[in-house]
Amino acid sequence: MSAAGRSAALPPQRWRPPARRVGLRVEFVSEDGRHRKEFDFTTLPGNLRVLEEFATAFETMTGPLGTTKRVESARNLWAAVVKAAAWLHTYRPEISSLAELGALDARALAAVLVTPAGDQRLAAMRTLVGFSPLVRPEFRTELARLRFPRSSTARQPYTAREAQRIAVVARGILRQARERIRRGWEIVHAYRAGGFDELDVLDPRRSLAEVLDHCARTGDVPRSPISGGYAPVSKRTGEGRGLAAMLHVTAGEIWAFAVLLTAETGFNASMLAELPAPAFRATAPGESAIALLRLSKPRRGSRSEMTLPLDTIPRAFHSPPGDARPMQVRQTSLSSALGVFALLIELTTPARELLGTDLALAYYGGQAGAGGSRLRAGMPQAFRSHRSRWVRAWLSGDPVEDELLLGISLDRIRKTHLERNRRPVAHTPGTLARYLSRMDRVTVDGFQIVREALDDEVAKALHRRKMTVIANTAEAEHAARGTDDTVLGACTDFEHSPEDGQRCRRNFLHCLDCSNARAFPQHLPMQLLVLDELHARRDTTSRVRQVTELAGRIAQLSAIVEEYEPAQREQARAAITDDHRHLVGRLFTGDLDTP
């Protein structure tokens, strides 16, 4: 218990959260209290009782005792409900309650909810029906049992050239925004200092300053109270529709900020949408700045709260001799995470103060929202529909480059960051490994590393091999006198090992490395069987064991077998008996090892 607070306590045993549903309208409140959104079930088609049951389950799932904590997740759940309600209205209009749905309905509904983009809506519906006590067990079970094949291909990271082109465009958009907004605020400050008082009241320059001052105070330009269009003073400025954008960033510019922040930090869209504006700078003046951001990912459970750093050092300067640019340049550079973040905070502060929010992403949306404000906080939703307009000025006419810009994906940009840095970003190493395992370039790099390790182990094993091969039958009969048979060959002096001069106690596979060992044609059947077993084990063991234990032995035996003629190998394989197979089995189970 602290002096300023009170001890923590659980709510009463029968506590229930306050109702957030009024009729068929459900209000969603995010876990941190920053976002509120109303979902109106009266806009959906279908039986009113069915819609009420959907609304009740929706309220429970999105409430404090539910699993949906963010507004984006609530929107995804709403999309699944919209699809399900439309299907019921079209194909099962006679249904008057969710309790009437059976297994066949579950299969048909699942087929509607699954899209080429994935089964996220189906997963949301599975969870939603779990919050409804009216849904029959067979419907819930069938919906949970159904699985649809997922695409085996994943969206790949951008190439270095593609990522560079995207970053150049995003920085260009933000530099233009920076110049425009700073120039706009200079006009506002000059107007408030009396710098335009000598001009005629009808002068467009004075009108522009007056309009911008009004926009700075209210978040929008003067408008007609009747039509909602521009007031006369706004029309006199001659600036067209871009008046408010002279003081505030637009949705397209917020999107450009998101592109650069994702590229530099690896944050996903949901984290950027909740990015807080206040930042603790953990450095003294004159030092390279670092900002610590407190973020939350509710689905991580007990690990949901985290503090992540933003620094001024771009990825290109992480190695010596370091970044030689002046400190002021580094801390405002759009090539570093902190430089992008600092500019974001600077340009969005006016909108954030008018909205009363601490979210870093704040912008002028153009259309009036539910509360009448034209300012927005968080991530713009219309990425796909407006992206062509946001990058139109940067299209070059080159079909390949234009397609790249028109299809910019924050998911692919994030994967590019993960591929380059190979470090977890607000997720576990296991999650990072799953991301990396589906990236083509990472897979190729991994194969190359394994290939190099295999080649190294094979080279060392072949250099280490000392077993002498005598493939000629007549010579072998003469050389075999005075030797003792082992599994893979014969030993000329079992009592004196070249390794230590003592009686040999090593596994028979080590005969391949021994100068006392001899391989004669009669040993070829056993060598073929052991080689086959090593190949079989290679397909069922880890990469580490393949490299360290199997690759060298396979290379050694393959080199020995290749010293025989093809006819000799065919004859030896035909001579393999069950006794040979039994002996090889004992070799690999360790029965033949010296205790």
Residue 4 domain-assigned (yes or no): no
Tokens of 561: 């077998």
| % of the chain with per-residue pLDDT over 70 | 88
Q: Is cis: bond before 298, omega within 30 of 0?
A: no
Mean pLDDT of the chain: 83
Check pLDDT > 60 for residue 326. Answer: no
| Residues 450 and 428 placed together within one structural domain of the fold | no
SS3 label, residue 145:
helix
Domain C-terminal end among 145, 169, 201: 145
Q: What is the mean pLDDT of residues 381-387?
A: 67
Q: Where are the alpha helices (DSSP H) in 92-159?
A: 103-113, 120-130, 137-145
Q: What is the mean pLDDT of residues 3-9?
A: 67
| Residues 527 and 379 placed together within one structural domain of the fold | no
- 């994030």: which residue's tokens? 414
> What local confidence, expressed as pLDDT, does residue 398 receive?
87
> What local confidence, expressed as pLDDT, does residue 384 receive?
61
Rounded Cα distance, 136 and 305, in Å: 37
Q: Which domain holds residue 367?
A: 251-437
Domain C-terminal end among 437, 459, 491: 437
Question: Which long-range contacts link 545-551 to residues 24+ away (Cβ below 8 Å)?
Answer: 546/454, 547/450, 547/453, 547/454, 547/457, 548/457, 551/454, 551/457, 551/458, 551/461
> What local confidence, expressed as pLDDT, does residue 202 receive?
86
Check pLDDT > 90 for residue 175. Answer: yes
| Residues 428 and 449 placed together within one structural domain of the fold | no
Residue 380 domain-assigned (yes or no): yes
Name the residue type at position 389: R
Which residues lie below 8 Å from residue 77, measured CB to CB, with a gap of 6+? 58, 61, 62, 68, 124, 127, 128
Check pLDDT > 80 for residue 275. Answer: yes
| Residues 425 and 454 placed together within one structural domain of the fold | no
Residue 372 domain-assigned (yes or no): yes
| Residues 424 and 503 placed together within one structural domain of the fold | no
Domain C-terminal end among 384, 404, 437: 437
Burial of residue 53 (CB within 10 Å: 0-12, 13-18, 19+) is buried
Check pLDDT > 60 for residue 328. Answer: no
Burial of residue 527 (CB within 10 Å: 0-12, 13-18, 19+) is buried
Which residues lie below 8 Å from residue 519, measured CB to CB, with a gap of 6+? 467, 468, 469, 470, 488, 489, 490, 527, 560
Q: What is the mean pLDDT of residues 346-369?
A: 86
| % of the chain with per-residue pLDDT over 90 | 26
Check pLDDT > 90 for residue 183. Answer: yes
Check pLDDT > 80 for residue 426. Answer: no
Name the residue type at position 437: S
SS3 label, residue 99:
helix
Taking only the tens place, the pLDDT of each residue in 100-115 is 999 999 999 988 888 7
Check pLDDT > 80 for residue 367. Answer: no
CB 199 within 8 A of CB 206: yes
| Residues 451 and 394 placed together within one structural domain of the fold | no
Task: Give the DSSP H/E element, type plus range, for residue 362.
Answer: strand 362-364
Check pLDDT > 70 for residue 129. Answer: yes
Taking only the tens place, the pLDDT of each residue in 466-486 is 888 888 888 888 788 878 888
> What local confidence, expressed as pLDDT, does residue 314 receive?
47
CB 209 within 8 A of CB 196: yes
Check pLDDT > 70 for residue 383. Answer: no
CB 527 within 8 A of CB 561: yes
| Residues 505 and 524 placed together within one structural domain of the fold | yes
Taking only the tens place, the pLDDT of each residue in 437-471 is 888 888 777 777 777 888 888 888 888 888 888 88
Residue 508 domain-assigned (yes or no): yes
Residue 246 domain-assigned (yes or no): no
CB 415 within 8 A of CB 441: no
Under the banding of pLDDT at 50, 70 and 90, the label for residue 193 is: very high
Residue 560 domain-assigned (yes or no): yes
Tokens of 584: 């090889």
The number of beta carbons lying within 10 Å of the beta carbon of residue 27 is: 14
Taking only the tens place, the pLDDT of each residue in 79-95 is 999 999 999 999 999 99
Residue 322 Rama label (left phi>0; alpha psi -120 to 50; beta): left
Q: Where are the beta strands (DSSP E) in 380-501?
A: 468-469, 484-485, 490-491
> What local confidence, expressed as pLDDT, does residue 179 receive?
94
Under the banding of pLDDT at 50, 70 and 90, the label for residue 394 is: confident
Tokens of 138: 């067979």
| Residues 418 and 559 placed together within one structural domain of the fold | no
| Residues 267 and 398 placed together within one structural domain of the fold | yes
Rounded Cα distance, 489 and 483, in Å: 10
Q: What is the mean pLDDT of residues 340-360?
A: 90
Q: Tell which residue, 214, 216, 196, 209, has the closest CA to residue 238.
A: 209
Give how many domains the chain has, as a whole number: 3
| Residues 371 and 467 placed together within one structural domain of the fold | no
The DSSP 8-state label assigned to residue 492 in this structure reads: S
SS3 label, residue 40:
strand
Q: Which residue has the higher pLDDT, 409 or 316?
A: 409
- pTM for the full predicted model: 0.68
Check pLDDT > 60 for residue 323. Answer: no
Question: Lowest-confidence range among 129-133, 157-161, 284-288, 581-585?
Answer: 284-288
Tokens of 124: 């949301």
> What local confidence, expressed as pLDDT, does residue 359 receive?
87
| Residues 284 and 384 placed together within one structural domain of the fold | yes
Which residues lie below 8 Å from residue 470, measured CB to CB, with a gap of 6+? 476, 479, 518, 519, 520
End-to-end, the C-alpha distance of the chain in Å comes to 64
| Residues 266 and 126 placed together within one structural domain of the fold | no
Residue 163 domain-assigned (yes or no): no
